[in-house]
A and B are shown apart, each in its own frame.
Chain A
Amino acid sequence: MSSTRTTPPSPAGTGRSVRRPGDRVFAGTAKGAGILILVILAGVAAFLVVEAVPALTAPAEDIPGGGGLASYIAPLVFGTLLAAVIALLVATPLAVAISLFIGYYAPRRIAQGLGYLVDLLAAIPSIVYGFWGIFWLAPKLVPFYQWLERDLGFIPLFAGPASTTGRTMLTTGLVLAVMILPIISAISREVFLQVPSLHREAALALGATRWEMIRMAVLPYGRSGVIGGAMLGLGRALGETMAVAIVLSVSGGITFNLISSGNPSTIAANIALEFPESSGIDINTLIASGLALFVITLAVNMLARAIVNRRADFSGAN
């Protein structure tokens, strides 16, 4: 995606010398797999663009809502980003803490079981998360939201009025956080365990405590892996459909008020909810919103790669 990736050095002896059939087959398969990814990506992008064109060119009053495509999609984009960012802010520190506990603090037997349990979270279907969110988590959070409104209402995020069902943006973000937790923690755990003992012993021999050793050797080494995991999680949070469609109470436009019942929907949930009722230009509008989601996800991934590459010299990969 970004151009800073270095090309691997060509192995000695290729070029003019004899190429073995095994090498040729393997190189061809690898190249084919690489090209296939590009073809699929291009195919999806082309489909989205072609189907979105009627909505892009339609007069404003034909678009649902009557205010034109931009004003239809804007709240959806906002809702998508808001829910995903909440999820990421909650899940990333938690996932890093879990991985560090599993890797460096827990007794080995407990660590294994705990890691397995966290991975299990990823196996739960998103519709189950949706039900869990609406029937269990949301009602439990209602008193908390009332407290937030009463005591912290001066912060615009908690202005209220507090939802009586608990089906708020914050609840949605928390459900998404639980859903992306296993993704981020699985990847963080792997990179933390891969920190060479050489580096860990270097810190310990300098007189580092366990936490200082983690801060000096483990976290910096695992940083790009954690960012990568967080971006994978963000990708899932951005595109999550079912759980959001069930949990989030949608009515209203752009607002930073996290605890009221008037929330913008997210792109994916909106498509799922509206699609069965749509025809003609309405479908094109939904696909155009899907194109927006595609672009957002792509941008997020490129941003993540840029962050990881910015300090590539210091990554420890050499």
Chain B
Amino acid sequence: MAKRIDVSDLNIYYGNFLAVENVNVSIEPRSITALIGPSGCGKSTFLRSINRMHEVIPGGRVEGKIVMDGQDLYGADVDPVDVRRQIGMVFQRPNPFPTMSIYENVAAGIRLNNKRMRKSDLDDLVERSLRGANLWNEVKDRLNRPGAGLSGGQQQRLCIARAIAVEPDVLLMDEPASALDPISTLAIEDLMADLKERFTIVIVTHNMQQAARVSEQTGFFNLSGVGQPGRLIEFNPTEKIFSNPDQKATEDYISGRFG
């Protein structure tokens, strides 16, 4: 289950443009790691490079190493498809498959893994995943309705259910609550506290209170100017980042002096 991720000397490019420079960080299993920083500083780009979604964008490429429990994710013989099956992702905007029912959305990942599953087992798994995403009670009577008919917060929890149904080792969340109202945000944050028992969670957020509320470790990304690459300025326990950060830039950012 939950695995540790070690990133060393990571440079991330869009074509020839160096977007993120020289990231070195260790992400602990069974904990929540938050990434904060101003827009365009590369925190989402870094997140997407962990499950090799960055290279989906034309020109997207990476130099350096990301190792998950001894396995080099960018090794020559590693299929990005396999990496993504081990590292789930939740996006900024809820994106359930519009043509699928709630049930089909949760089962989508299982179907991909080509596991032939008995209907009753699949039913159990769908229920377990939806319960895991705190959504079961709200949707159990309409599993065959389209996922797009749910509210934004419910859709996002459906996406979380879809991601955890395949039992990944790591869950990446790219501003999962930024499109949601405070109540739904709270529901997602409670859910994350449950999920970290089983998964390694990395979350990108613009909301510093959220980072402070949910995470054990926090990384602060910043860039020195437009057109300059983003860097990981500081990576420390969340408590330290928000009370006594090592770097002046971190303190300026979290105290609202810029950004």
State the Cβ distance, B88 to closest chain A Cβ, in Å: 7
Q: Is B224 interfacial (CB 8 A cutoff)? A: no
Q: Which residues of A contact B56 (CB under 8 A)?
A: 201, 204
B71 at interface by CB-CB < 8 Å = no
Inter-chain CA distance A223–B98, complex, in Å, is 12
The answer to whether A209 has its CB under 8 Å from any CB of chain B is: yes
Structural contact, A201 and B99, CB atoms closer than 8 A: no
Q: Per a CB cutoff under 8 Å, which of B85, B109, B148 touches A318?
A: B148
Query: Quick check: is B81 within 8 A (CB to CB) of the other chain?
Result: yes
**Chain B, Cβ-Cβ closest to A207:** B85
For the complex, what is the distance from the CA of A39 to the CA of B88, rounded to whole Å?
56
Q: Is the CB of B97 within 8 A of A202?
A: yes
Is B91 interfacial (CB 8 A cutoff)?
yes
| Interface size in chain A (residues, C-beta < 8 A) | 24
Q: Digitize B80-113: 1 where CB-to-A-CB distance is under 8 Å, 0 elsewhere.
A: 0110110011010101111111000000110011
CB distance from B41 to the nearest CB of A (A): 21
| A203 to B109 CA separation, bound complex (whole angstroms) | 8
Write out the residue numbers on chain B whose beta carbons fall within 8 Å of the beta carbon of A220: 97-100
**CB <8 Å contact, B100 and A314:** yes
- Give CA–CA (A313, B163) in the complex, Å: 23
Ordered nearest first, which 4 A-B pairs have the shortest CB separation?
Answer: A316-B98, A207-B85, A220-B99, A205-B89
- Could you list 20 examples of A-B contacts with CB < 8 Å? A196-B95, A198-B91, A199-B97, A204-B84, A205-B89, A206-B108, A207-B81, A207-B85, A207-B113, A207-B166, A209-B81, A216-B112, A221-B98, A313-B146, A313-B149, A314-B101, A314-B146, A314-B148, A318-B98, A318-B148
Which residues of chain A have C-beta atoms less than 8 A from B112's C-beta? 206-208, 212, 216
Partner of A217, one of B82, B85, B89, B97: B97
A interface list, Cβ under 8 A from B: 196, 198-199, 201-209, 212, 216-217, 220-221, 223, 311, 313-316, 318
Q: Is the CB of A207 within 8 A of B98?
A: no
Query: How far apart are A104's CB and chain B's nearest CB, in angstroms?
Result: 12
A18 to B126, CA, bound (A): 53
Q: Determine whether B133 belongs to the interface, using a CB cutoff of 8 Å to chain A.
A: no
Report if B35 contacts A (CB, 8 A). no
Tell me, rounded to whole Å, the shortest Cβ–Cβ distance linking B204 to chain A: 14
- A9 smallest CB distance to B (angstroms): 18
Chain B residues within 8 Å of A198, by CB: 91, 93, 95
Tell me if B159 is interfacial: C-beta within 8 Å of chain A: yes
B162 located at the interface, meaning its Cβ lies under 8 Å from any Cβ of chain A in the complex: yes
Q: With A and B bound together, what is the CA distance between A209 and B162 in angstroms?
A: 17
B53 at interface, CB cutoff 8 A: yes
CA distance A203 to B98 in the complex (A): 12
Residue B51 lies at the interface, judged by CB distance under 8 Å to chain A: yes
Q: Cβ of A202 and Cβ of B98 under 8 Å apart? A: no
Q: Which of A206, A216, A315 contacts B84 (CB 8 A)?
A: A206
Given contacts A202-B159, A206-B109, contact A314 B82 (CB under 8 A): no
Q: Which residues of A contact B53 (CB under 8 A)?
A: 201, 204-205
**Which partner residue on chain B sits nearest A196 by CB separation?**
B95
- In the complex, B131 has a CB within 8 A of chain A: no
* B109 adjacent to A313 (CB under 8 Å): no
Given contacts A206-B85, A207-B109, could you give 14 more A-B pairs where the C-beta distance is less than 8 Å?
A198-B91, A202-B91, A204-B56, A204-B84, A206-B88, A206-B163, A207-B81, A208-B81, A208-B112, A220-B97, A220-B100, A313-B149, A314-B146, A318-B149
How many Å lie between the Cα of A208 and that of B81 in the bound state?
Answer: 6
> In the complex, A316 Cα to B96 Cα: how many Å?
10
Q: CA A185 – CA B166 in complex, angstroms?
A: 36
Pair B108/A216 contact, Cβ less than 8 Å? yes
